[in-house]
């Protein structure tokens, strides 16, 4: 069976170039980057070269990049450490109702510890109201944390505008860019971002690795206690081969015209999928918007009258992998909190929607096969229910 993978928002396969880089590093470089001997200096050089490569992709300084175990740690560090570090200045935080659990759960913990969190509403296009944000900011607001791209519906939030609103206030601006890094241009200076989280496995890099961008002038205490690695900002021996692989993945997505080419390719996938389903008479609607203010690689579709878990299982049996909700909450029987925030808990969309997310290995033939398979399965299921 020829399997088609369309869950790249959940994770991506490592690119061959990344595998090659990591294999070379694991074979030839084993030193501890904190050691002062020859092998340590060799590893340190690779570490810092990789840090420089990654910093350039977001217009950051090398010293502003802190390597972590991934997006979850980066989000937790930015939120929890900001709260602990700045609690004497205020205990008010602003976020949105459709953040990833790696943001929502630390916020819930902080609420239990006496902090107040304002959750901005989400409209049916997957966007926030900037006026609501302006009204929510108070003198005791110490942090605004709003994701760059929503992982389920693909909403691209107006990060630059949010940064402009937050900049003159007392608050710091953190964005969860796990779905955005490698997919859209990011300039932390132009966007007035103070803290930014990423994860390597979302852009064809290794798992258990990411970075936290921490603007120069912000000096959060290490979330992980231990040694003095990462300029005392994150304890633990750096995984140099994986970090070198991460830098290779970053170059793969950001160098030359790759970002623009991928964006155009994914846009053509979306339109082929929508046009094909329409032509075949399938009842559906796109959750959010199709093009405007949307990530290039994600589309979330409501298949009317078809339970998402049933459709997902049938697709998997036919060799096509999609997703219903976030991969991080796939074991949950609860409906998507993202779709609930957009359409309400009584909307059938929350039970009948699937996400398809594209990657660099996908082709137009994959999308045509998806249309054909969806049409076959949905027609069969609807005939069975007559």
Structural tokens at position 322 = 């999609």
pLDDT, position 261: 95
pLDDT, position 291: 87
pLDDT, position 384: 82
From the number of C-beta atoms within 10 Å of its C-beta (0-12, 13-18, 19+), residue 232 rates as exposed
pLDDT, position 294: 93
Average pLDDT over residues 178-204: 98
The phi and psi torsions of 83 (rounded to 5 degrees) equal: -60, -45
Could you give the CA distance from residue 24 to residue 39 in angstroms, rounded to a whole number? 15
**Model confidence pLDDT, tens digit, residues 56-72:** 999 999 999 999 999 99
Average pLDDT over residues 205-232: 94
pLDDT band at 231 (very low <50, low <70, confident <90, very high): confident
Could you give the CA distance from residue 249 to residue 15 in angstroms, rounded to a whole number? 7
Q: Who contacts 7 (Cβ-Cβ below 8 Å, separation ≥6)? A: 321, 322, 323, 327, 355, 356, 357
Domain ranges of the chain: 16-254, 257-384
Could you give the CA distance from residue 103 to residue 45 in angstroms, rounded to a whole number? 33
Cβ-count burial 321-338 (b if 16+ within 10 Å, e if not)? ebbbbbeeeeeeeebbbb
CA dihedral 58, 64, 67, 68 (to 10 degrees): -100
The yes-or-no verdict on residue 3 having pLDDT over 70 is yes
Average pLDDT over residues 16-36: 97
pLDDT, position 110: 98
pLDDT, position 2: 87
Catalytic residue among 328, 329, 351, 381: 328
CB 160 within 8 A of CB 191: yes
Average pLDDT over residues 268-278: 98
CB 234 within 8 A of CB 243: no
Could you give the CA distance from residue 237 to residue 39 in angstroms, rounded to a whole number? 14
**Model confidence pLDDT, tens digit, residues 46-102:** 999 999 999 999 999 999 999 999 999 999 999 999 999 999 999 999 999 999 999
Task: Reply yes or no on whether 368 is catalytic.
Answer: no
pLDDT band at 333 (very low <50, low <70, confident <90, very high): low
Q: By C-alpha distance, which of 219, 188, 204 is closest to 60? A: 188
**Model confidence pLDDT, tens digit, residues 161-174:** 999 999 999 999 99
Q: Do 16-254 and 257-384 agree at the fold level? A: no
Average pLDDT over residues 212-236: 93
pLDDT, position 217: 96
**Model confidence pLDDT, tens digit, residues 290-326:** 988 999 999 999 999 999 999 999 999 999 999 997 5
CATH (one of 3.40.640.10, 3.30.450.150, 2.60.120.380, 3.20.20.100) for 16-254:
3.40.640.10
Hey, what CATH class is 257-384 in?
alpha beta
The phi and psi torsions of 146 (rounded to 5 degrees) equal: -135, 130
DSSP per-residue letters across 270-287: HHHHHHHHHHTT--EEES
Please give the model's pTM, rounded to 2 decimal places: 0.96
Kindly state the percentage of the chain with pLDDT values over 90. Answer: 92
Structural tokens at position 134 = 């302006």
The yes-or-no verdict on residue 327 having pLDDT over 70 is no
pLDDT band at 328 (very low <50, low <70, confident <90, very high): low
The yes-or-no verdict on residue 383 having pLDDT over 90 is no
CB 227 within 8 A of CB 34: yes
Using DSSP's 3-state secondary structure scheme, residue 213 falls into strand
pLDDT, position 68: 98
The yes-or-no verdict on residue 194 having pLDDT over 60 is yes
């Amino acid at each position: 069976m020829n399997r088609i993978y369309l869950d790249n928002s959940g994770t991506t396969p490592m690119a061959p170039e990344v595998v090659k880089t990591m294999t070379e590093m694991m074979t030839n470089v084993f030193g501890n980057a904190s050691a002062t001997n020859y092998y340590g200096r060799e590893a340190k050089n690779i570490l810092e070269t990789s840090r420089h490569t990654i910093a350039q992709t977001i217009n950051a300084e090398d010293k502003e990049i802190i390597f972590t175990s991934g997006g979850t740690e980066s989000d937790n560090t930015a939120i929890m450490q900001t709260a602990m570090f700045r609690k004497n200045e205020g205990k008010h935080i602003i976020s949105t109702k459709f953040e990833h659990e790696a943001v929502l759960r630390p916020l819930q913990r902080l609420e239990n510890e006496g902090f107040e969190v304002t959750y901005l509403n989400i409209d049916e296009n997957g966007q926030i109201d900037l006026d609501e944000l302006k009204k929510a900011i108070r003198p005791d607001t110490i942090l605004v944390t709003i994701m760059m791209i929503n992982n389920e519906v693909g909403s691209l939030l107006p990060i630059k505008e949010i940064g402009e609103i937050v900049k003159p206030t007392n608050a710091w601006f953190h964005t969860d860019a796990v779905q955005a890094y490698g997919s859209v241009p990011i300039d932390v200076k132009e966007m007035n971002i103070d803290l930014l989280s990423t994860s390597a496995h979302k852009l064809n890099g290794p798992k258990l690795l990411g970075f936290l961008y921490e603007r120069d002038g912000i000096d959060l205490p290490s979330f992980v206690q231990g040694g003095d690695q990462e300029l005392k900002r994150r304890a633990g021996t750096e995984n140099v081969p994986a970090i070198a692989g991460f830098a290779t993945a970053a170059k793969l997505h950001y160098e030359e015209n790759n970002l623009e080419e991928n964006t155009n390719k994914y846009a053509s996938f979306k339109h082929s999928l929508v046009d094909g389903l329409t032509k075949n008479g399938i009842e559906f609607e796109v959750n959010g918007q199709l093009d405007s203010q949307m990530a290039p690689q994600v589309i979330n579709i409501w298949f009317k009258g078809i339970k998402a878990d049933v459709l997902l299982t049938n697709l998997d049996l036919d060799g096509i992998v999609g997703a219903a909700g976030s991969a991080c909450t796939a074991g949950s029987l609860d409906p998507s909190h993202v779709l609930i925030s957009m359409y309400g808990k009584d909307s059938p969309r929350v039970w009948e929607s699937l996400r398809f997310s594209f990657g660099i290995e996908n082709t137009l033939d994959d999308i045509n096969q998806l249309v054909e398979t969806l049409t076959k399965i949905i027609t069969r299921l609807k005939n069975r229910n007559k």
